[in-house]
């Protein structure tokens, strides 16, 4: 297989577009949440300014080697997830580095950032960070289970592990989308989606109102800015996977922006309606409601 | 000094005994250093603009003034519109609001929080109590002039100032930051000895290192 070097700048372009859109979308979603609380909320450009400010802070302190690597791992998780699945279906420029087995790699990258974060936050030595990480990992693990089973169902259904092939199989009509051909698997995956978006009711890990704000307690300045960058990229990358697997993918950027926005909006709507779960409640919720639906989706195939 | 801060022998879960000196092991002893603006003027102006438009307040209320900050988060005044947000940890915050009277016991915590914040950082004194003691001018355990203990960038007068006054105060602070005059962190590092002497004069049970970040 010969490698075309032009794919690297193309992938970087995709990354840049997703990054800028992610920052904007984060602020817009926060504004929508604020409107539900009858506030105006932050300006739509606030996330860009926060990022510049955090990079511009003059002092940083470190707690050790893993403390450096935590945010780097986290960002690697987000960027890797984005780079190894096709962002725009059918456009060679934004197909990135997708290959035959990328579905398995994507599943791995979804989890990769959390693990890196666990190591980094552990190194920071702050007890709140350790509490946050243990809460976060247990919740993410529970949330990942329905998603993983749903992905197996989809892979069985289309008899392939390539995201590109799965998208290709859904083209033609809206009713070819997985959401219509296998609604049970998609329902389970959307439950898992809520768990990994860090919006209520599943944001106890990171919520600033909780006394320990979780893993990033000790992170500041450029470390925090790296993690903010990841907060912009990772949800979009995750939604790209969902879009590709369940909602027919996107053939151009406007469709991409719209589908990602609607997916994010779904999480935000659930978030403003329901109060926050404690960790053991959310773990139970995923196991009791998410997993059986996902298994049923497996039998549907 | 408290017992828990004294050096002691600790037995680990694997049976190995080792010595712990909390003041040396749990804190960093390096004193603060001056970080002057290093970029060319146009870049520094741009960064100052970003800093002014993104004020992250440490959620730490010291006195009755803290109650005036809550309406700022809620629909009626909604300070988030102006780039003002609250952070729960001093590491990520860069604006410390001393909201009202400051007892010597709380001063100790305020100093620790301030020193853990990352430079450039700003201090705003809220209400008359931080300027001259206010109605606690003859109290035995509150401090009278805040700027003897921490470098204050801005005072907002009143007893208590209403949320409107706070919003106006944020706008004034933004102008100070944009003009490049909010260098409180460097002032603190330059006059470190003087600040420490003042702090130790009122805090009698000083059981922490001189600079703890």
- Tell me whether residue B141 is in a domain: yes
Residue of B nearest to A50 (CA): B54
Residues of B with CB under 8 A from a CB of A: 28, 35, 46-47, 50-51, 53-54, 74-75, 78, 80-81, 83, 85-89, 91-92, 94, 118-120, 185, 213
pLDDT of residue A2: 65
Statement: residue A211 has pLDDT above 60:
no
- Tell me whether residue B174 is in a domain: yes
pLDDT of residue A1: 54
Quick check: B61 and A23 in contact, CB under 8 A? Answer: no
pLDDT of residue A11: 87
Taking the C-alpha atoms of residue A122 and residue A139, their distance in angstroms, rounded to an integer, is 17
- Tell me whether residue B207 is in a domain: no
Mutation for B interface: A40, A53, A125, A227, most B CBs within 10 A: A53
Residue B176, both tokens: 């100070």
Q: B107-158 pLDDT, tens per residue? A: 999 998 999 899 889 999 998 999 998 899 999 999 999 999 999 999 999 8
What is chain B's alpha carbon radius of gyration, rounded to the nearest angstrom? 19
Statement: residue B85 has pLDDT above 60:
yes
CB contact under 8 A, B118 and A58: yes
Quick check: A253 and A178 in contact, CB under 8 A? Answer: no
Taking the C-alpha atoms of residue B196 and residue A12, their distance in angstroms, rounded to an integer, is 50
User: How many domains are there within chain B?
Assistant: 1
Q: B46-82 pLDDT, tens per residue? A: 999 999 999 999 988 888 888 888 889 889 999 999 9
Quick check: B92 and A223 in contact, CB under 8 A? Answer: no
Mutation for A interface: B54, B55, B121, B167, most A CBs within 10 A: B54
Quick check: A41 and B81 in contact, CB under 8 A? Answer: yes
Residue of A nearest to B121 (CA): A57
- Tell me whether residue B33 is in a domain: no
What are the boundaries of each domain within chain A? 7-300
pLDDT of residue B45: 93
Q: A236-284 pLDDT, tens per residue? A: 999 999 999 999 888 889 999 999 999 999 999 998 888 888 888 999 9
CATH number of the domain residue B158 falls in:
3.40.50.12280
pTM: 0.87
- Tell me whether residue B183 is in a domain: yes
ipTM: 0.86
pLDDT of residue A292: 92
Q: Which domain holds residue B198?
A: 39-202
Residue of A nearest to B58 (CA): A208
- Tell me whether residue B24 is in a domain: no
pLDDT of residue A43: 92
């Amino acid at each position: 297989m010969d490698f075309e070097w032009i794919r690297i700048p193309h992938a970087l372009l995709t990354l840049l577009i997703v990054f800028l859109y992610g920052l904007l979308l984060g602020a817009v979603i926060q504004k929508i949440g604020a409107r539900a609380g009858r506030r105006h909320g932050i300006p739509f450009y606030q996330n860009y300014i926060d990022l510049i400010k955090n990079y511009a802070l003059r002092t940083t302190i470190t707690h050790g080697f893993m403390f450096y690597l935590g945010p780097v791992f986290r960002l690697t998780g987000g960027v890797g997830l984005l780079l190894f699945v096709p962002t725009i279906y059918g456009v060679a420029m934004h197909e990135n580095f997708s290959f035959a087995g990328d579905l398995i790699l994507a599943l791995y990258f979804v989890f990769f950032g959390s693990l890196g974060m666990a190591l980094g936050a552990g190194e920071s030595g702050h007890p709140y960070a350790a509490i946050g990480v243990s809460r976060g990992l247990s919740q993410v693990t529970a949330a990942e289970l329905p998603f993983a089973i749903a992905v197996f169902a989809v892979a069985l259904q289309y008899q392939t592990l390539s995201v590109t092939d799965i998208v290709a199989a859904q083209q033609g009509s809206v009713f070819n989308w997985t959401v219509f051909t296998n609604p049970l698997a998609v329902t389970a995956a959307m439950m898992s989606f809520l768990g990994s978006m860090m919006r209520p009711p599943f944001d106890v890990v990171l919520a600033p109102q909780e006394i320990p704000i979780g893993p990033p307690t000790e992170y500041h300045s450029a470390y925090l800015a790296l993690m903010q960058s990841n907060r912009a990229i990772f949800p979009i990358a995750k939604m790209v996977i969902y879009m590709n697997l369940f909602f027919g993918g996107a053939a151009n950027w406007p469709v991409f922006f719209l589908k990602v926005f609607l997916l994010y909006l779904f999480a935000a709507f659930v978030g403003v309606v329901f109060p926050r779960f404690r960790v053991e409640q959310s773990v139970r919720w995923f196991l009791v409601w998410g997993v059986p639906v996902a298994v049923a989706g497996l039998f549907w195939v | 000094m408290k017992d828990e801060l004294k050096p002691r022998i600790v037995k680990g879960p694997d049976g190995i005994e080792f010595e712990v000196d909390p003041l040396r092991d749990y804190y960093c002893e390096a004193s603060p250093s001056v970080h002057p603006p290093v970029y060319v003027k146009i870049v520094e102006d741009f960064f100052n603009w970003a800093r002014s438009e993104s004020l992250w307040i440490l959620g730490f209320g010291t006195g009755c003034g803290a109650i005036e900050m809550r309406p700022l988060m809620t629909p009626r005044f909604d300070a988030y519109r102006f780039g003002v947000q609250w952070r729960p940890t001093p590491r990520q915050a860069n604006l410390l609001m001393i909201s009202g009277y400051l007892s010597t016991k709380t001063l100790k915590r305020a100093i620790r929080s301030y020193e853990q914040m990352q430079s450039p950082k700003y201090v705003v004194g809220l209400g008359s109590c931080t300027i001259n003691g206010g109605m606690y001018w003859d109290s035995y355990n509150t401090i009278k002039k805040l700027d003897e203990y921490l470098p204050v960038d801005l005072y907002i007068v009143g007893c208590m100032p209403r949320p409107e006054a706070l919003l106006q105060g944020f706008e004034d602070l933004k102008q100070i930051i944009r003009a490049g005059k909010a260098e409180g962190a460097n002032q603190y590092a330059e006059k470190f000895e003087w600040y420490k002497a003042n702090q130790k004069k009122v805090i009698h049970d000083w059981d922490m290192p001189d600079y703890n970040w």
